[in-house]
Each structure stands twice: as C-alpha cells, then as structure tokens.
Structure 1
Amino acid sequence: MKTFAVLLLFAVANAKHEQYQGWKSYFVKPANKVQLQVLSSVVQKYGIDFLSDPAVERNGLALVKPELHEYFIKSLEDHGIAYKIHAEDVKAQLDIDDKLIETRRRESSQKQNGTISFDNYLELEEIYDYIDYVAEQYPNLVTIVSPGNTFEGRPLKYLKISTTNFEDEHKPIILIDAGFFGRDWITPSTALYALRNLTQSDMLHDYDWIIVPVANPDGYKYSFTNDRFWIKTRSTDQHLLSNYCPGVNVNRNFDFFWNTIDSSDTPCANNYAGSKPFSEKETFLLKESLGDFIPRVVLDISLNSYGSLILYPWGHDGSLSNHAFALQSVGVSIADTIYVNSLPDFPRYTVGNSVLVTKIESSGTGIDYAHKLGIPLTFNIRLPGIGEGTEGFHLDPKYIEQVAKETWDGIVVGARRAAELFGRTRK
C-alpha cells in the first residue's frame, strides 16, 4: 500500500504542467522600433504569450505552442529579429523550477507566528493569514476591507493603512495593487513588503495608503495548483464557451475603451475582455470600494511581472495625457531610486508611455481607467525578472526580498513627489 502511495504521488507530480509538453520559450530582442512594431504584429497574428514584453534592445520572453514554432521563427528571421532559445522543453523547465521552490521552502528558517518569508513565493492562504495578523497587531493603523467574494467564493481583501482612519481629508492617498494576473507570483510579496514597512516607518504621517495584495485570488490560486502561466479570473458565466475556457483578463475589463484594442471576444484568449466592462467581481468590487477615495488618490501603482518597465497612460493609442510631464518625471525618479538600490543582475528600468515603449496598444486597463477618473499619476511597474540565462520561468526566490526592497524605495520617492505635485490641489 505504501509503495502504491509513493507511485501515485510520483505520477501526480509528473503530470503537472502536462499542458506545456512540447512548448518552447524564446528570448527575442528587437534592435529598433521598426522591429518592435513587427514583433507586435506577430504577437497579434499568432497569439504569442510573452511573459516579459520586449522593448528596443531589451529581451522579451515568448512562450510558443508546438504548432507555432515554425511560423514564429520564420517571422523573426524574415525581419532580422534576434532570438535564441530559452527552454527547449517548457514542461521540463517548470518541473525544475518547482524543485527549486520546494527546496527553498524546506531550507527556509522556521517562521515565527504572524511572519512571512520574503525568500519564497507565497501561497494565497499565507498571504491572507499574514494580512489578518498585521491587522490584529496594528488595529489603530491597519483595517482590512472585504467588499465581497470572487466567482469561486474566495474573499476579496484590501487594506487601508492610516494614522487617522482616513478621516483627515487633507492627506493624499497612495494606492498599490498586485496580483492582477494569476501568474505574477512576485507582486503580492512586493505589496506585503510595503505593508510591513508602513507599520514601521514615518510614511503614515503625511499619507494614507490602500494596498490590494491579490486583486485576482482565483487566478492566483489556480496558477499554483493547475496552470503556472494562468492569467485570467476563473468565472464561467461570461460566454457560452466559458465553461470550456473560464476567466476574463482583469486588465482588459475596466471601462476605458473597453474591448476595442488588444482585447478579444473569445473566452479562450488570454486577453478576453469579458461580456461587458466590470463583468468580473474583482474589477467591479474594486471600483465600488475604492471609488469614494478617488479624489484624494495622487499615485496609483499597479505591480506586474516581468520586464523592468515603468509604464503610464494612455495605453489605448499612445497619446500623452495632460499629466505626461509629471508622469515621466515621477516615473524617472522612481526608476533612478530603484537603480541606486538595485543589484547588477537586474536591468535598469525603462520609463515611458506604455505604447511608445512596448509598441502594444491595449484597452480596458486599470491604470488608464484610474487616470480617466482623475488620478494624476498612474503607473504599471513591471518588476525585474528573468535574465538571459536558463534559470527558468520564475525569478530565483533568493531575489524576492531584494526586488521588494528596491521597489519599496522607489514607491517612497514616488509618493513624496506625487504629494508635492498634487497633494494640495486634490483636497
């Protein structure tokens, strides 16, 4: 019986990531804006999934299905776009990544009550346990708000951190969200690092903070249990095919040029925008819950991975908003601060309008919607990640705390600049 149990365990482990059997991953580096534009067209044509979007002279990392290898490579070679193989077998590399994370988990020091480790990726339950603990330990500073549940019944949670219980209307608000995409495992850790520092720093004297540690709990959980590269929610009520292809891309579901650009009507697509704006409980409840604070929010930071990019509106057409100068200036301040505190392993952040940097137009995004509502500074910060080696699809867990720390340093500078520029005018 014991032998059977061991064999069953081995079979289950071996079956994980089976859907990526035969897939390959490629580093792709466009040399100029023309090649970047061509690459954008290739992505649209074949539906290529980039874990890290390329920029000029900056590698992107593409996941390619077996049936698309030939077409993808031919498109790159026809236009002289540099590429090299990252992983010959995506499934095999994911298995290696799993072992690395599990080894790291076993080697981690024993956690004390209420603490979390910033040297490994966190399960959803660990995240929720930690924020519950912080709220209990700092009842005069931290309030958990749970406006409702996800499609699969998990609680949506965000935190309000304030010395005045958000009653001082003169204090500007800084908003940080993470975990829009299920597979962005490093982003909740970065948000929780900010939470931990807020309870121990002077950044609560002049600012109130809202932190959404996991905006898409169902997708986050599913990426741990079933599909490492899962992006969307897990709803099945949006389309006749939703039972077969669940979920909606949270970052295409906001009411700003919804379902017009780089969005899909097909639920099987990663960029499926849903049946209508705010069709997902995740986006609707965020909108409803945060709406009262919009007039005081001066800085909205949405954390994604990977890319070492700081991007800002408008993303639907690449035009510049009335706050473009401030967006560029504050974005550069954040990037420069991160660079000073970063490791040489990570590339320097590129700052700019999302379309001008990536050559990818997209509609229904969170930062564009927030900017439309009047939040002057809205950024998508794509954290540093995969380098040019063959270390896998996860950033090595040993770098998680470093990424969280340097990002927090950048956020602090961004908050101060935002308050200087817009704190008084948005009372």
Structure 2
Amino acid sequence: MIILSSILLILVAAEKSAFVAGGIERNYTILRITPLNIEQIQFLSALYLNDDKMADFWKPPTRINETIHVMINPGFMKKFDRLLNEKSISYHIEINDFAQYLKNKKEMKRQRNLLFDNNRERRFWDDNNRNSNIFLGKYNSYDSIVRWLKNLEQRYDNIVTVKSIGTTAEERIIYGVKLGTKNVTSKPVIWLDAGIHAREWVAIHTALYLIQQLIIDYNSNSKIGEYLRLLDIYIYPCLNPDGYEYTQTKPNDPSVRLWRKSRGSTINYEWENGEKRYCKGVDLNRNFAFHFGEIGSSSSPCSNIYRGKYAFSEPETQAVRDALLPLREQIKAYITLHTYSQLWIYPYSHAANTYSSDIDELKAVAKEGVNSLMKLYGTEYQYGTGPEVIYAFSGGSSDWAKQSANVKYSYTIELRPSKSSNAGFILDKRELIPIGRETYEGIKVVIDKVIMEYKQSRN
C-alpha cells in the first residue's frame, strides 16, 4: 500500500505538471519495457492498475524479462522517464509519434485482390453486402454489421436467425446470429463472442469471418453441413458496440482508437489528495461474477481495468448472462475472441495452479486447436490458464461460463499479433483474412469434439 499511495501522489503531481508545460509534449509515444526483477514488476504493476491518465499498458507487467508495450500520453513522457529512471527501469522508444503512425496506416491503400484470393469468398461478399456496405478485409461500423446480419437472415433463412440479447448503456441493441438448421427444437449449442473490449477490432472482424465461412461451407462441405444440422452456433461479433463505435469516431487519435472499456455512466472520482477526475466506462471482462473484484482488476474508475461497482453492474454483461444461462443445459462450448498475444486460454485464470476437474480434456482440445491453427500459416500460439501464459485476472467471461453456466469447453482466444509485436491492436488489414482462416481451423477442433461427444451420448 505504501508503494501504491506514493505512486498515486506522483501521478497527480505529474498530471498537474503536464498541464503547466503548456502542451510542449504533444506526441503519444509507444515504449518497449522489459522488467528485470520483481521490484520493477511491482512498480510497473501499480502504475498499470491505478492510472490511465499518464500511460496505457497494452499488457500488464507480470514476468521478469518479458517485454510489454506502454503508450505514454501527451505531456507525460518526461515524468514517466523520471519515474522509470528512479527505479533503474530502462526502455526503448518503439514509436515516437503514435498518432502519425495511425494516420500512415489509414493512408495505406487496401489491396482487395490480395485479400480475396478465394473466389467463393469474393462471390459471397459481392452477393451479400450490397445493402450493408460491408465486406471482409476491412473494419466495418456496427450499424453496417447489423445490416449485414439481417441481410444474411433474409437470404439464408433456413440456417440463419438474427438474435438480440439486450441493450447497451447508450441504447444500442447487441445483435448476433444463430447458425443451424431449424428442423430441430433443441440441439447442443456453441457460443462464440467477440468485441467485449472496444479497441480489439481484429476480434470483431474474425467473428464476422467465422459467420461467413460457416454459411459458405454449409452446402459445399459435408462436415460443416453436419455442424449446422446437429448444432446451433451462436455468434455475437460485438458485445461492446458503444465502445467500438466510439473508437471509430477518431481513428487517428490514440486516446480514442485505443479505448478499451464500455461507455457507461461517467463517475466523479476523488483521489486521495482530493483531486477530482471524471472517468467513464467499465472493463466488461472484469465485470462477471467469478471471483469479482480480485486480482487483475481495479476499483479505480479511471483505470482501463475498472471492474465496475459490482458484478454484472453493466447492461452488456447482464445481456450475456441473461442470454446464456437459459441455454446452460445445451451449451457445450463457450469461446470469446480477443486480441492480442496469440494465446489459447482455458480456466481458471483468477489464481495460479487453480484448475477445473476436467483440465486434461480442456488442455487436450486447446493443444489440438493450436496445432490445427498453426498448420495453415505457421502462427504459433501458447495454451494454458491465464497465469500460465499471460497474467492472472478475475471477473472474466470464460471463467464465469465454466463455473456458473457449467460449460465444458470454455476458452478465451487471444488472436494475432504476438505478445512482443509493437503492432499491438493496430494490424495491417492484409492480415485480417489470414487471421480469420487460421482461427476457423482452430475452432473447428472444438466443434468436432462437441459433435463427437454428442453422437456418443445418443448411442
């Protein structure tokens, strides 16, 4: 607590000093930091947990000699440099002007021919995006996504049903689809969602790609046809549409493009010295009722990992809970897509060396999924619990689904790029289709396992 209190006072002083500086430091700067001992990790962790005004940690500092990337906000570089120097923490400037980096990315022309080398994919999107202005290989607005989902239901009404599960803080409806033949009233269910963190655009795009491929392959691939005859696959591509839409309002502004949380009510937060700040939103993946309020979450409304006032305090997480629990007898797999780090995470992630009773089965399917994914492009994933492969966190959706909804195969998949990549959340659009393809291969392993067990249960 002494370390934390000292850091909070330093941060408030740094904030005041930054404003006094008159905007001399205007750049968002990306640093690469490698902590060398436990003391450095503790110091950086205190910053990560309790501040978002000075710095945005893209990944928390959890392991000695493991690189993290931190975005320093304008006006704070000198102060952050001083803090690191006081603890003998060295760093490397990876990107000096991140706003300019984003502008350069936006100006890169899309090369459609490179993205659509599969003729069936091209025909599918040409046929189905006329009224929605959507296609893969680029990022789409939430409204465009919703229109596209509704178009799919009209064209493929034998296997596509549009579903809505609730309304967000800003009164957007959370839409998804149920994929499956409609001649059976009750089938095993696989649930897949994405976009619970606003800045993770790649995850949302990947969920759309999975919808596309399952529909394309339904009539042309007997294996996929069996999937949709025997199962219902629910896919909700964007659980946090408020945050996602906000990130698209100023895509060249790092503070907007890299917004993580929801856009719920603004909280007037008072620091220990009486300083007041107005902070908005909740980290929805810390708001589920699984060891809520414990490790890897923050009670500070200004933190990027603010957990909310209580479990399921937010309409978005309430929507997931209220839609998923009535299906608990049918749901056999829950998969939530995130970016980034190339990880396949299974429960439990709130504490080290804490496993479910069927850990061997969870691990075996994860291993097979990672191996299947890797065969396509050689992309290497790690698999394990959160503490084993990245960090411990509480209040996450996949842990909650495992415990509270009793979902056997419950996974969080962190997509490309790797942990060490400076691209972070800003991937070249040319990677979007390959990410979708390899993820599809990995997820088919889970579907195959569910179908195999379903067939065995009927014999």
Fold-level match, TM-score > 0.5?
yes
Shift in Å at residue 28 of structure 1?
4.3
Q: Tell me which of 326, 332, 336 is aligned to 1:298.
A: 332
Q: Tell me which of 103, 117, 126 is aligned to 1:95.
A: 103
Shift in Å at residue 57 of structure 1?
7.4
Shift in Å at residue 308 of structure 1?
0.5
CA distance in 2, matches of 1:284, 1:51: 26
Shift in Å at residue 58 of structure 1?
6.3
Per-residue CA distance 1:254-277 (angstroms, 9 max, x = gap)? 011111222222211111111211
CA distance in 2, matches of 1:423, 1:236: 47
Note closer, same or farther for the CA distance 1:39–1:157 as it changes in structure 2 (3 Å cut). farther
What is the 5 A alignment of 1:189-268? Answer: 189-199=205-215, 200-201=217-218, 202=225, 203-226=227-250, 227-236=256-265, 239-241=267-269, 244-268=278-302
Contact kept in structure 1, 2:297 and 2:306, CA below 8 Å: yes
Partner of 1:26: 31
Partner of 1:15: none
> More deviation in 51-60 or 195-204?
51-60
Shift in Å at residue 174 of structure 1?
1.2
Contact kept in structure 2, 1:231 and 1:270, CA below 8 Å: yes
**Aligned with 2:278: secondary structure?**
coil
Shift in Å at residue 50 of structure 1?
3.6
Partner of 2:371: 336
CA distance in 2, matches of 1:274, 1:251: 10
Matched letter for residue 175 of structure 1: W
Matched letter for residue 370 of structure 1: A
Note closer, same or farther for the CA distance 1:390–1:287 as it changes in structure 2 (3 Å cut). closer
Shift in Å at residue 112 of structure 1?
3.2
Q: Give % identity.
A: 27
**Aligned with 1:104: secondary structure?**
coil
Partner of 2:9: none
Note closer, same or farther for the CA distance 1:273–1:173 as it changes in structure 2 (3 Å cut). same
Q: Tell me which of 367, 375, 383 is aligned to 2:398.
A: 367
Partner of 2:138: 120
**Aligned with 2:192: secondary structure?**
strand
Note closer, same or farther for the CA distance 1:166–1:96 as it changes in structure 2 (3 Å cut). farther
Per-residue CA distance 1:224-255 (angstroms, 9 max, x = gap)? 11401111111116x44499211111101101
Is residue 409 of structure 2 the alignment partner of residue 409 of structure 1?
Answer: no
Shift in Å at residue 113 of structure 1?
5.1
Partner of 1:13: none
Contact kept in structure 2, 1:93 and 1:392, CA below 8 Å: no
> More deviation in 140-149 or 294-303?
140-149
Note closer, same or farther for the CA distance 1:52–1:275 as it changes in structure 2 (3 Å cut). closer
For these two proteins, the number of residue pairs brought into alignment is 392
Note closer, same or farther for the CA distance 1:315–1:127 as it changes in structure 2 (3 Å cut). same
Note closer, same or farther for the CA distance 1:51–1:138 as it changes in structure 2 (3 Å cut). same
Partner of 1:104: 110
What is the 5 A alignment of 1:10-409? Answer: 21-28=26-33, 41-47=42-48, 49-52=56-59, 59-65=67-73, 66=77, 67-72=79-84, 75=87, 77=89, 84-100=92-108, 103-104=109-110, 112=126, 114-115=128-129, 116-164=134-182, 167-168=185-186, 171-199=187-215, 200-201=217-218, 202=225, 203-226=227-250, 227-236=256-265, 239-241=267-269, 244-318=278-352, 319-343=354-378, 346=379, 348-358=380-390, 360-373=391-404, 374-385=406-417, 393-409=425-441
Matched letter for residue 71 of structure 1: L
CA distance in 2, matches of 1:422, 1:379: 19
**Aligned with 1:337: secondary structure?**
helix
Contact kept in structure 2, 1:46 and 1:68, CA below 8 Å: no
CA distance in 2, matches of 1:222, 1:338: 32
Shift in Å at residue 307 of structure 1?
0.6
Shift in Å at residue 94 of structure 1?
2.1
Note closer, same or farther for the CA distance 1:141–1:244 as it changes in structure 2 (3 Å cut). same
Contact kept in structure 2, 1:310 and 1:379, CA below 8 Å: yes
**Aligned with 2:313: secondary structure?**
coil
Per-residue CA distance 1:377-421 (angstroms, 9 max, x = gap)? 111111012686766851110110000011011100121124435
Contact kept in structure 1, 2:299 and 2:306, CA below 8 Å: yes
Contact kept in structure 2, 1:298 and 1:423, CA below 8 Å: no
CA distance in 2, matches of 1:185, 1:90: 18
CA distance in 2, matches of 1:183, 1:166: 38
Q: Which blocks of at least 5 consecutive residues in structure 2 are unaligned?
A: 1-22, 49-54, 117-121, 219-224, 251-255, 271-276
Per-residue CA distance 1:347-390 (angstroms, 9 max, x = gap)? x10101111222x2211110110011211111111101268676
**Aligned with 2:153: secondary structure?**
helix
CA distance in 2, matches of 1:181, 1:392: 14
Contact kept in structure 2, 1:53 and 1:307, CA below 8 Å: no
Contact kept in structure 2, 1:298 and 1:422, CA below 8 Å: no
Partner of 1:5: none
**Aligned with 2:279: secondary structure?**
coil
Contact kept in structure 2, 1:311 and 1:352, CA below 8 Å: yes
Matched letter for residue 83 of structure 2: Y
Shift in Å at residue 425 of structure 1?
6.1
CA distance in 2, matches of 1:140, 1:191: 20
Contact kept in structure 1, 2:149 and 2:176, CA below 8 Å: no
CA distance in 2, matches of 1:24, 1:124: 29
Larger Rg: 1 or 2? 2
TM-score, scaled to structure 1: 0.82
Matched letter for residue 406 of structure 1: E
TM-score, scaled to structure 2: 0.77
RMSD over aligned CA atoms reads 3.1
Shift in Å at residue 76 of structure 1?
6.9
